[in-house]
Chain A
Amino acid sequence: MNQALRQDNPSKPSNPGGAERLLEPRKLQWILIAAVFAISILSLISGQMHIRPGTVLKILVSRISTLQPDWPATLESVVIDVRLPRLLAGMLIGAGLSISGASFQGLFRNPLVSPHILGVSAGAGFGAAVGILFFGNVFMVQLLSFVFGLMAVFLTYALSRTYRSTPVLMLVLAGIIIGALFSAGTSLLKYIADPVNQMPSIVFWLLGSLNNASNRDIAAVGPIIVLGIVALYLLRWRINLLTMGEEDARALGVNTGQIRGIIIISATLISASAVCISGVIGWVGLVIPHIGRILVGADNKHLLPVSALIGAIYLVSVDLIARTAMETEIPIGILTAIIGAPIFAYLLRKNRPAW
């Protein structure tokens, strides 16, 4: 087994981390679920347009009952077609990226791993650039970003299989190679794109935004993200076994290759779906699991669901800032990095969490 990897030591399920637990994980999960509801309500009643909370509630209720509308159609459109899909996209993407990040950090036994490590976002970014350049139609941009995101991870996986040594290390290295290749491809497309319309579109897309989320998007890729989250949630015990190291896990009769495959497929589907709705949103999948670890320790049994919940709260909150702080939109990818990086620095300094 590779020495370097061993040193980033495995999160031992028996070691709940350096931090003292303030709360039982189960209690904490309920509090977080309540917080998700609270931020959802706040998110639905706030925005650029002033709508009374009562009206928002009535509009939502009218969707599942026979309540007669006594409000303008515009308000209904704001709540149902704009705020609701944006909220759902924020929750799904925040939760999805965070649970993927936590799973990958366990799988690779490395705290600096994010869901993008295998090249999914580099591939998706390239796909989107191809879509903007050659098709100029939103559906193709989304489809190509999804397809190329999956393709990048597939190539990473295939490349890693050509070497016989330590599969986990080879995956990371192959991810770096494939990611670099696709990033260079994106740069090339930016270079040949017309600087007037296409290049700004590509750049803006790469910055990430939930401004374009629609109910159609949620209906199309929401189920995929949910499926990925559920799969990772169900695997949370086995990820603990993987963190003991390849050989130890195999000795316990765990089919490491198969579990690794399912984790990678789930996280990739989540990330590719997320990117095709929102563009590239960085830092969420990297930082949120660390907050989770401080709250519940390194045990993936609790870490995964807690990370997912915090991720949902975090992204919905940041998006609330992105769409209400100024009259114009702030690209969310900028905010997640500006807010995420200092949080990360603070957490590492203060808590020295175990992983």
Chain B
Amino acid sequence: MLAISVAILLDAASGADKTRTITDMVGRKIQVPDPLKRVALLGGPTGQIAYVLGARGQLCAVTKSLTTSELVNLMDPSVRNLATPRTTSGQVNVEELLSTDPQLVIAGDLDGSIVEKKTRIPVAYFGSSMSQTFDAVKEEIRFYGRIFQKEPRAEKYAAYLQKTIDLVRSRTDKIPQNKRKIVFNGYSSNHLVTLGGDTFMQQHFDLAGCRNAAETIRSTGMKEGLHTGLAEVSMEKVLGWNPDVLIIDFGSPADIYNDPKWKSINAVKNKAVYKQPIGVFIMDRPTAESAVLHPLWLAKTAYPDLFKDIDMIQEVKKFYGEIMSFNLSDEQAQSILAAKYAVAFGPGPKK
């Protein structure tokens, strides 16, 4: 509260009517006050970008999934004090948003149009999609870097991402196509919901030297009951693909090993069922965090021999430390890798 009043006082004192023009990710030009001190981020995983850029102090409102992330709460307990006018896509509490007096709202098309219709706050649209490439992730961070005027931090992230990509590629690109492991992402409670070959996940697989079992599936745009990019396939399809590695995000590998339905796949025979890590957010979305950590984790999980010198705990600590300024203990890094952190507080399975 004090911080807000001080900020308002400072604003009034400087009498700043200065503005600058920014171009959002869909190419629209918007006049915003300069400097920006109160920005509302209304996109699912975009909140983490504020930490990547060191721009946490410029936020006035975020989406609920950031303030309910267990890891974010550990690192930044004050996140709970931020307003959360947006719960999920299309659910924006305009009054709560207005009460935080934002100078700029950054949102996707649905939420952004709600804000534009009901308020006079300028809206910048982001163009993040489920099929975005590593380069698009970098561009997204640079876009936010320009908004928060943290360009050097954006470049630092882009360089970190590129270094990780180069490291993984140097180990995996020699693996011949026919020796590459077939990996299936079996999400949700039935382990049959997956990301198809037209999503960002395909690039993670290619980099990690793996073949996406569901490469032929086209899943962006399918929305009924599922997030775009996710689609449900039949059990029979998975048995046919016969993945060497199975990645799950629900329950435990032991459940799969004990289920007769899964017994014939190689991943079960080789005891290669793994739970996908959870950091600030889940890794099956195209986020800054997932772009760096997920391909590295996947590559080491599929080809431990090629990555003997890579200690994932150290890699995780290094990423959150250097990029997000979160200094994790070994146990905390281990908890990320073991998917122990909930993305939502309150009721929920403690995995």
Residues of A within 8 A of B (CB): 47-49, 73-74, 76-78, 81-83, 132-138, 141, 192-201, 203-204, 206-207, 209, 211-212, 214-216, 323, 327-329, 331, 334
Contacts and interface: CB of A to CB of B under 8 A. Distances in A.
A82 B249 CA distance: 22
B85 to A, nearest CB: 14
Contacts of B263: 77
A77 to B, nearest CB: 4
B81 interface: no
Q: Which of B260, B265, B347, B351 has the most CB of A within 10 A?
A: B347
Contact of A82 (B190, B222, B232, B236): B236
Closest 3 CB pairs of A and B: A136-B349, A194-B344, A195-B88
A77 B188 contact: no
24 contacts: A47-B236, A73-B264, A74-B242, A74-B264, A77-B239, A82-B236, A82-B239, A134-B349, A194-B342, A194-B348, A195-B88, A196-B282, A197-B249, A197-B250, A197-B282, A200-B225, A204-B225, A206-B225, A211-B192, A211-B235, A323-B234, A327-B217, A327-B218, A329-B232
Interface in B160-205: 188-190, 192-193
Nearest to B192: A211
Contacts of B351: 136
Contacts of B261: 77, 81-82, 214
Residue with the greatest number of chain B CB neighbours at <10 A, chosen from A47, A77, A83, A134? A77
Given A81-B260, A198-B348, A212-B190, 12 more contacts: A49-B236, A133-B347, A136-B189, A136-B250, A195-B64, A195-B344, A196-B44, A197-B250, A197-B343, A204-B232, A327-B217, A329-B231
Nearest to A204: B225
A196 B234 CA distance: 22
Contacts of B249: 197
B90 to A, nearest CB: 11
Given A83-B236, A136-B349, A328-B233, A194 B219 contact: no
A47 B237 CA distance: 9
A133 B348 contact: yes
Contacts of A138: 189-190, 251, 255
Contacts of A141: 189
B100 interface: no
Given A77-B239, A204-B225, A329-B233, A137 B347 contact: no
B349 A137 contact: yes
A334 B232 CA distance: 14
Contacts of B233: 48, 327-329
A331 B224 contact: yes
A76 B265 CA distance: 12
Contacts of B218: 327
Given A132-B189, A328-B219, A196 B343 contact: yes
A195 B236 CA distance: 29
Interface string B61-75: 000110010000000
B344 A48 contact: no
A79 to B, nearest CB: 9
B226 interface: yes
A194 B188 contact: no
A328 B236 contact: no
B232 A209 contact: yes
Contact of B347 (A48, A192, A200): A192
Contacts of B227: 196, 200
A329 B264 contact: no
A81 B238 CA distance: 13
B346 interface: yes
Contacts of B222: 328
Contacts of B251: 136-138
A216 to B, nearest CB: 8
Contacts of A207: 224-225
Nearest to A189: B347
A256 to B, nearest CB: 42
A196 B226 CA distance: 9
A134 B218 CA distance: 32
B192 A327 contact: no
Given A138-B251, A215-B260, A78 B236 contact: yes
B78 interface: no
A150 B88 CA distance: 33
A203 B343 contact: no
A140 to B, nearest CB: 10
Contacts of B225: 200, 203-204, 206-207, 331
B232 to A, nearest CB: 4
A49 to B, nearest CB: 4
A193 B232 CA distance: 21
Given A49-B240, A207-B225, A196 B65 contact: yes
